[in-house]
């Protein structure tokens, strides 16, 4: 583990140095969406005053819509994924942690997704510890925390006038050492500030322990139908969830050529498991709500040993019907 300090006023210099080595995405302000993770234009200031991005990190590794291959009369050509390294600066720790869950599904050793894998191999993730939680955040209930390092290569601590960088992986350490001339040794005051941030925990009041056992007992369709009564089946909760990973494949033909597309799908859509005969095994909104919750808090821990929720709160904040997964967790938890 290595520590490097940078005066916040010099952050733009670090970003510019990284831009010479890789494609860099960082928090910048956009009129339309507030602070977004995007390629900073020349001279754009980097923002550190945000809770989290509206869109989850997964979209950079597993895009909402991507071309997998192109075909014509002569055959099929796989679409190449760029070899260029990508540095993500300013990822919130919950989103960095969500990569662990996506890795378990998309590079499980048996069915490796080459598109996702290449993007993961090319990426360096610099997470930014949180100084304060957002209204819908509950990471600490889900095994995360404001300075959790899982999924990150480097973690940056925002201190009073500086940023303190801590290497987490070998890749992260190499990047920091390569740019060592921009940094200085952290003072003991800065180290103390970092430790304070690192040990800060907060209690969002969401009980999530024992959800799996509690869910097994919630087999009553009435419970799920009541919960889903006001659901609009809009899919916002799944599209914005950093761990949801279901997709569909489509062939699109344009004249004599065509493309195979991969597009995100959502278990909250009525047609998600509708069969060609017209039969729908999950025909009610309650069935679909049950599936979403069971997948995250029962099937995922059974198959991968971890809940597929990092407590980012996006589904809570974005649901137009105010359906709140924290309330469901509280109801089913021991
Ligand atoms: S289920 Fe909701 S709170 Fe949990 S990771 Fe997904 S969007 Fe975030
Ligand atoms: S965001 Fe809310 S309304 Fe939309 S599908 Fe999810 S639970 Fe239903």
pLDDT tens digits for range 199-214? 887 888 787 777 888 8
> Looking at ligand 2, which atom is closest to the CA of residue 232?
3
**Looking at residue 207, what is its pLDDT?**
79
Query: How far is the centre of ligand 1, averaged over its atoms, from the C-alpha of 88 (Å)?
Result: 21
pLDDT in tens, 61-108: 999 999 999 999 999 999 999 999 999 999 999 999 999 999 999 998
Distance 37 CA to ligand 2 centre (A): 24
Q: What is the pLDDT of residues 32-56, one digit of tens each?
A: 889 999 999 877 789 999 999 999 9
Which-ligand-closest: CA of 293? 1
- The number of the ligand 2 atom at minimal distance from the alpha carbon of 289 is 7
Alpha helices in 41-169 (DSSP H): 58-61, 93-106, 114-122
3-state helix, strand, coil in the chain (%, to 5): 35, 20, 45
CA of 30 relative to ligand 2 center, distance in Å:
26
Is the pLDDT at 334 greater than 80? The verdict is no
Q: Which of 102, 240, 241, 330 to mutate to test the pocket of ligand 1 (most atoms within 8 A of CB)?
A: 241
- Each residue's pLDDT tens digit, 242-261: 999 999 999 999 999 999 99
Phi, psi of 172 (to 5 degrees): -65, -45
Pairing, β 123-128 against β 86-91? parallel
Least confident window among 80-84, 152-156, 216-220, 262-266: 216-220
Residue 130: what pLDDT?
A: 96
Global confidence as pTM: 0.95
98, 102, 143, 314: residue to mutate for ligand 1 pocket, most atoms within 8 A of CB: 314
Using DSSP, state whether 292 is helix, strand or coil: helix
For position 205, what pLDDT does the model report? Answer: 79
Judge contact between 186 and 3, C-beta under 8 A. yes
Distance from residue 38's CA to the centre of ligand 1 (Å): 22
Structure tokens at 29: 């302000």
Q: What is the mean pLDDT of residues 314-333?
A: 94
Residue to probe by mutation, ligand 2, list 54, 229, 232, 325, most atoms within 8 Å of CB: 232
Centroid of ligand 1 to alpha carbon of 238 (angstroms): 8
Task: Please give the Cα distance from 246 to 157 (Å, whole number).
Answer: 33
Using a 6 Å cutoff on CB, does residue 208 contact ligand 1? no
Across the chain, mean pLDDT equals 94
């Amino acid at each position: 583990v290595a520590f490097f300090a940078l005066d916040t006023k010099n952050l733009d210099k670090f970003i510019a140095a990284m831009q010479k080595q890789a494609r860099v995405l960082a928090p910048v302000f956009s009129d339309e969406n507030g602070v977004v993770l995007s390629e900073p234009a020349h001279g754009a200031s980097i923002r550190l005053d945000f809770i989290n991005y509206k869109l989850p990190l997964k979209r950079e590794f597993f895009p909402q819509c991507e071309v997998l291959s192109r075909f014509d009369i002569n055959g099929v050509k796989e679409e190449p994924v760029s070899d260029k390294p990508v540095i993500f600066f300013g990822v919130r720790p919950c989103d960095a942690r969500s990569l662990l869950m996506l890795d378990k599904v998309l590079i499980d050793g048996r069915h490796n997704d080459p598109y996702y894998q290449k993007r993961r191999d090319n990426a360096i993730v610099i997470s930014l510890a949180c100084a304060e939680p957002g209204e819908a955040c509950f990471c600490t209930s889900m095994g995360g925390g404001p300075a959790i390092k899982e999924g990150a290569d480097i973690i940056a601590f925002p201190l009073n006038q500086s940023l303190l960088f801590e290497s987490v992986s070998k890749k992260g350490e190499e990047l920091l050492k390569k740019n060592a001339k921009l940094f200085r040794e952290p003072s003991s005051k800065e180290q103390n500030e970092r430790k304070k941030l690192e040990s800060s925990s907060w209690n969002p009041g969401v009980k999530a322990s024992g959800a799996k056992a509690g869910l097994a007992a919630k087999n009553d369709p009435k419970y799920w139908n009541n919960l889903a009564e006001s659901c609009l089946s809009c899919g916002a909760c799944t599209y914005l969830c950093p761990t949801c990973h279901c997709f569909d494949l489509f062939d699109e033909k344009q004249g004599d050529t065509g493309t195979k597309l991969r597009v995100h799908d959502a278990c909250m859509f009525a047609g998600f498991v509708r069969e060609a005969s017209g039969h729908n095994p999950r025909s009610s909104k309650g069935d679909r709500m049950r599936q979403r919750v069971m997948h995250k808090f029962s099937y995922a821990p059974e198959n991968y040993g971890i809940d597929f929720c990092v407590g980012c709160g996006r589904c809570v904040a974005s649901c137009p019907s105010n359906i709140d997964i924290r309330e469901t967790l509280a109801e089913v938890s021991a």
